[in-house]
Structure 1
Amino acid sequence: MTKLSVNINKVATLRNARGGNHPDVLRVAADCEMFGADGITVHPRPDERHIRYADVRAIRPQITTELNIEGNPIDRYIDLVLEVKPTQVTLVPDAEDQITSNHGWDTKANRAFLTDVVGRFREAGIRTSIFVDPSVEMVGYAKECGADRVELYTEPYAAGYERDREAAIAPFVAAAEEARRIGLGLNAGHDLSLQNLHFFHERIPWVDEVSIGHAIICDALYLGLHETIAMYRRAIGR
């Protein structure tokens, strides 16, 4: 069964635009779970331009499903994860001024660093996923770093979907098959939407989790959050 984790960063962006607490990030997280989300994803960045470190601490006690914390493992982030102890941590190689994630780790070049970070999180009992491009080699080295899962960076798939969906999905199928062969769990995320999610899941039905934020919040403006989450669940056969 593929799980749906809803990334609520965009809700925090809207709140921060005006100050105050509207919309209420904690309420939205609770509503997402009530409406059928299998987990909540947050991605705190150093400038706290959307999800704040304080949000992560406040969200953790109320999550009844799974909490996934994404981010670049700088010292402050590592301390937060070890304090909060989410179900899953996803390591993403974001620069501090990056608008959004746009590439995966070079798990070969960063093997020593990632092995150390993954080891610290696994010792704390936290499932660890490494964000990678759809590369058989990068998936293989993620395994050598000690990761429990990889998360495939799916923006290239989304960008090529309308033009040639078979060509767009091909490297993801290869990377996913390698992950399955070597015993790595498999997540996916970035620009997955109602337009392209069903086909992705149809071709890679063994994906453990998809993490989706921007498209869900955009769709919810028209469809409502409850109906939107239901539609994304149907897209992954739920």
Structure 2
Amino acid sequence: MILGVNVDHVATLRQARGGKEPEPVTAAALALLGGADGITVHLREDRRHICDRDLGLLRELIPVELNLEMAAAKEILKIAVRTVPDLVTLVPEKRQELTTEGGLDVKKGRAVLIQAVKVLHDSGISVSLFINPDPDDVGISKEIGADMVEIHTGGYSDSRGRKQERELAKVVTALQTAVDIGLKANAGHGLNYYNVSRVAELDNLRGLYIGHSIISRAVLVGIERAVREMKDLMNTADQKIEGK
């Protein structure tokens, strides 16, 4: 199972002062030393954190999967085609949100998403759709032409007790639906050091994409250690799967 580390919030801290540090590209390199299997950045239309320069440097320098999160917007599609990341994850985007608030509305956005997927595929870029843990959304993602989906785990991460069990069951059902129809499946959003294990223990999960909790921990212990600790939790979960 791969761990994709999102370094957006290193850039958020840089942008708070409008200066040159901390450097998200350096953070990405340290994440690799800690065991990250990939680096994720979200190039937003308003460039609130990651900017075009960051994306270009990461594409040139990192030797692992570069996952570009982006809206299906014409301007950003042109940048993706020019940069050619290993993976594009199409996500919903609102200017006023603090972070991504949910999965894509694949029903409403079907036509736009179909066109975006085609543009990306024509450039040889694999495409994932960030969706809610809903079997119908998984099926529509397949129809749209996605290569994989990333299942939104925010409902699970933000709940406790019985509600958390229900939210985890939704993730399990969506994951199994993806496997059944031939889609690779990832998961992410809100996962941290306390709740990641139960998701990481799920069968047939390609990878987890985690950012905020790792960068938050890195403020205290450093990025390399923070990534290594998360990867250790995932490896332990993998061993449990293999031992079933």
- If the length of structure 2 is used for normalisation, what is the TM-score? 0.92
Q: Which residue of 1 aligns with 2:216?
A: 218
SS at match of 1:211: strand
Gapped regions of structure 1 (runs ≥ 5): none
SS across alignment from 1:94: coil
User: Unaligned regions of 5+ residues in structure 2, if any?
Assistant: 237-244
- How far apart in 2 are the matches of 1:47 and 1:60? 21
Structure 1 residue 85 and structure 2 residue 84: aligned?
yes
Residue of structure 1 in register with 2:70 after alignment? 71
Show the 5 A alignment for 1:10-21. Answer: 10-21=9-20
* 1:170-190 deviations in Å (ceiling 9; x for gaps): 000000000000010111111
Deviation at residue 20 of structure 1 after TM alignment: 2.3
Give the superposition deviation at 1:101.
0.5
Distance 2:203 2:227 in 1: 19
For 1:138-157, what aligned pairs fall within 5 Å after superposition? 138-157=137-156
Alpha-carbon shift at residue 99 of structure 1 (Å): 1.8
Corresponding residue number in structure 1 for 2:230: 232
The answer to whether the Cα contact below 8 Å between 1:161 and 1:168 also exists between their aligned partners in 2 is: no
Query: In the aligned structure 2, how far is the partner of 1:156 from the partner of 1:207?
Result: 18
Indicate if the aligned counterparts of 2:34 and 2:226 stay in contact, CA closer than 8 A.
Answer: no
Moved over 4 A (4+): none
Distance, in Å, in 1 between the alignment partners of 2:34 and 2:229 is 11
Query: Deviations for 1:147-196, whole angstroms, at most 9, x for unmatched residues?
Result: 00011111101012455542220000000000000010111111001111
Equivalent position SS for 1:20: coil
Aligned to 2:187: 188
Task: Count how many residue pairs are aligned between Structure 1 and Structure 2.
Answer: 236
* Alpha-carbon separation, structure 2, partners of 1:151 and 1:54: 26
Q: Which residue of 1 aligns with 2:39?
A: 40
What per-residue deviation string (whole Å, max 9, x for no partner) do you get for residues 11-52 of structure 1?
001111122221112111111112211010000112211111
Bigger CA drift: 70-79 or 175-184? 70-79
Q: Distance in 2 between matches of 1:191 and 1:103?
A: 11
Counterpart of 2:21 in 1: which secondary structure?
coil
Partner of 1:132 in structure 2?
131
Q: 1:206 aligns with which of 204, 208, 230?
A: 204
Root-mean-square deviation over aligned CA pairs: 1.4
- In the aligned structure 2, how far is the partner of 1:19 from the partner of 1:107? 36
Cα distance between partner residues in 1 of 2:118 and 2:64: 24
**Within 1, Cα distance between the matches of 2:200 and 2:9?**
24
Distance 1:162 1:230, change over 3 A: farther
The answer to whether the Cα contact below 8 Å between 1:161 and 1:196 also exists between their aligned partners in 2 is no
- In structure 2, the residue matched to 1:109 is 108
